[in-house]
């Protein structure tokens, strides 16, 4: 999906919500455990209940890998169940030397080999340009590069001063030269709302993937105050607050209600910014 | 495997060789394509032919993920085929917020859930302490943290000056406080031999995992000049130069010959350093 198509989806759905599909077996509603693949059933029902309210789904690969090869199959089937008009993010935090990143790109972008073709993958910047470039060889596929993450550990290196810049600012400035805003986004945690003004100066036209709203405590309004741009420019992710809204028979219904609350807040914000 | 056991293996085998198992289907000897899982057969024959010459195997997860769920099964079966006295490294370059890194730790360390229990996993440092800690909760399991990598992109951020230090030096100094030398190693590329003297000042007692000997052009002698410590302290990885030594029926035999050359060079180095 390219940038224009993504913005079209945002306008049509009046939403820039991304839902994180990070399921853990022991947190699932008990009635799903009778299924052969309870996590897949959980994901399918969540997707069916919410796909008109969000523009993206973001399965985090760790949650699937923890179940080994079977979990990887669940990830594949989950990807297949997501309707085509949604933007898909493999939240995998990959990155390695060039010939290896090329294999990660195959894993997430080449359906013929791996059974999956996500629109995008999250990538860690530490290994530099040649660890990122192989992902960019796939047309209309995106790298979502870690810039300023939502966790406490973001203070360990990302915010250290290096010359005139902090490390995450260097990452944004340097990597902006590696790809256009049609193939690169940045991860910026919602828990760092005060940083958005500065980041929008560095990356006025990029989409930003914003985790940390909901269970991690970030505020949607604070993020949007500085984060919105003329193409919306934000994908705001919520995971636990939606997918675990209930652990009963009504889990999908309650997940929809949580997603609807966020979508309605987003509709107001988009309207106030005259983007819809 | 703990540090003492690893050093014992090094002394017994007179080797600190790690073999990278990074197989690509179209580079395999043609006669293996008749097998149901050619990559698994390739790995098994390589392991059978070399396990007395090396102390560690390092499958890079990207090469398995590129084949989807089937590849993940191949990774699992490969891990199972590695004899117990060898140190196993899941070269996965993972790292995420705490609750997610905990799932990655399950994926690579908890056999009950995932079917695999490697001794160690490579982790990217960008997200800081809470992205690393969950791996350390597993007794006798190791984090191998990226410090100074072997690729050109290591110049983009790792070697940037930040205060008195370069970023990779900060990574070593800071992360040394997160775990003892019994649970943490660092990745330092063999292509950066001139950096080993400085790194040994910062991390005198850590094991270093050193990729880049062989196809990437690093020199074993140059690495050892400054890299060796009183417990050897080095695991030197070679992959392509060994596993693709021949693409004929004799591929395992030729791989053994390449591994033997490196083992003999290592035996001389260990002897000269009076470690054996």
Which residues does chain A have within 8 Å of residue B62's beta carbon, measured at their own beta carbons? 94, 96, 100-101, 103-104, 107
Question: What is the pLDDT at residue A272?
Answer: 96
Question: For residue A148, what is the domain's CATH number?
Answer: 3.20.20.70
Quick one: closest CA in A to B148, which residue? A127
If one counts the domains in chain B, the total is 1
Q: Residue B139 burial by CB count (10 A; 0-12/13-18/19+): exposed, middle or buried?
A: exposed
pLDDT tier, B213 (very low <50, low <70, confident <90, very high otherwise): confident
Number of H helices, E strands in chain A: 12, 10
Residue A141 has φ and ψ, to the nearest 5°, of -105, 155
Closest residue by Cα to residue B4 from B263, B182, B161 = B182
Residues 216-255 of A with CB under 8 A from B: none
pLDDT tier, B175 (very low <50, low <70, confident <90, very high otherwise): very high
Q: Residue A231 burial by CB count (10 A; 0-12/13-18/19+): exposed, middle or buried?
A: middle
Distances in Å between the Cα of A22 and the Cα atoms of A81, A91, A198, B146 are 15, 10, 30, 26
| E strands in B95-248 | 120-123, 142-148, 161-162, 165-166, 184-188, 207-210, 234-238
pLDDT at B136 over 80: yes
pLDDT at A111 over 90: yes
Q: Which two tokens stand for residue A7?
A: 């913005």
**For residues A7-19, average pLDDT:** 98
**Of residues B63, B98, B131, nearest to A103 (C-beta):** B63
Domain that holds residue A32: 3-272
Contact B47, B80 (CB under 8 A): no
- Nearest 5 degrees, angle CA B189-CA B194-CA B200? 75
Distance from CA of A48 to the nearest CA of B (A): 24
Question: What is the pLDDT at residue A193?
Answer: 79
**For residues A230-235, average pLDDT:** 98
Spatial CB neighbours of A209, under 8 Å, sequence gap ≥ 6: A18, A58, A89, A122, A144, A185, A186, A187, A188, A235, A237
pLDDT at A181 over 80: yes
pLDDT tier, B93 (very low <50, low <70, confident <90, very high otherwise): very high
Q: Residue A141 burial by CB count (10 A; 0-12/13-18/19+): exposed, middle or buried?
A: buried
Contact B108, B92 (CB under 8 A): yes
Q: Which two tokens stand for residue B239?
A: 């992959």
pLDDT at B212 over 90: no
Quote the ipTM score.
Answer: 0.96
pLDDT tier, B192 (very low <50, low <70, confident <90, very high otherwise): confident
Q: Which two tokens stand for residue A78?
A: 């989950």
Q: Which two tokens stand for residue A38?
A: 């309870």
The HSE-up count of residue B136 (CA atoms within 13 Å, CB side) is 20
Distance from CA of A229 to the nearest CA of B (A): 27
Closest residue by Cα to residue B110 from B85, B139, B78 = B139
Which residues does chain B have within 8 Å of residue A114's beta carbon, measured at their own beta carbons? 65-68, 71
**For residues B58-85, average pLDDT:** 98
């Amino acid at each position: 999906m390219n940038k224009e198509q993504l913005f079209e989806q945002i306008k049509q759905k009046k939403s820039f919500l991304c839902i994180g599909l990070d399921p853990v077996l022991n947190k699932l509603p008990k009635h799903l455990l009778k299924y052969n693949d309870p996590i897949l059933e959980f994901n399918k029902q969540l997707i069916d209940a919410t796909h008109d309210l969000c523009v993206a789904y973001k399965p985090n690969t760790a949650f699937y890998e923890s179940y080994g090869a079977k979990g990887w199959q669940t990830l594949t089937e989950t990807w297949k169940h997501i309707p085509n008009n949604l933007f898909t993010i493999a939240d995998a935090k990959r990155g390695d030397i060039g010939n290896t990143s090329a294999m990660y790109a195959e894993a997430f972008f080449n359906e013929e080999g791996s059974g999956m073709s996500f629109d995008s993958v999250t990538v860690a910047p530490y290994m530099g340009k040649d660890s990122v470039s192989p992902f960019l060889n796939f047309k209309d596929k995106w790298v979502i590069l870690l810039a300023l993450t939502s966790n406490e550990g973001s203070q360990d290196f990302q915010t250290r001063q290096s010359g005139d810049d902090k490390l995450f600012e260097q990452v944004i400035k340097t990597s902006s030269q590696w790809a256009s805003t049609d193939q690169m986004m940045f991860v910026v945690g919602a828990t760092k709302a005060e940083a958005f003004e500065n980041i929008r100066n560095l990356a006025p036209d990029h989409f930003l993937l914003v985790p940390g709203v909901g269970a991690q405590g970030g505020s949607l309004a604070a993020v949007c105050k500085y984060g919105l741009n003329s193409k919306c420019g934000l994908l705001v992710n919520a995971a636990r607050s939606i997918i675990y809204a209930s652990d009963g028979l009504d889990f999908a219904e309650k997940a929809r209600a949580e997603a609807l609350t966020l979508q309605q807040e987003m509709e107001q914000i988009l309207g106030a910014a005259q983007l819809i």
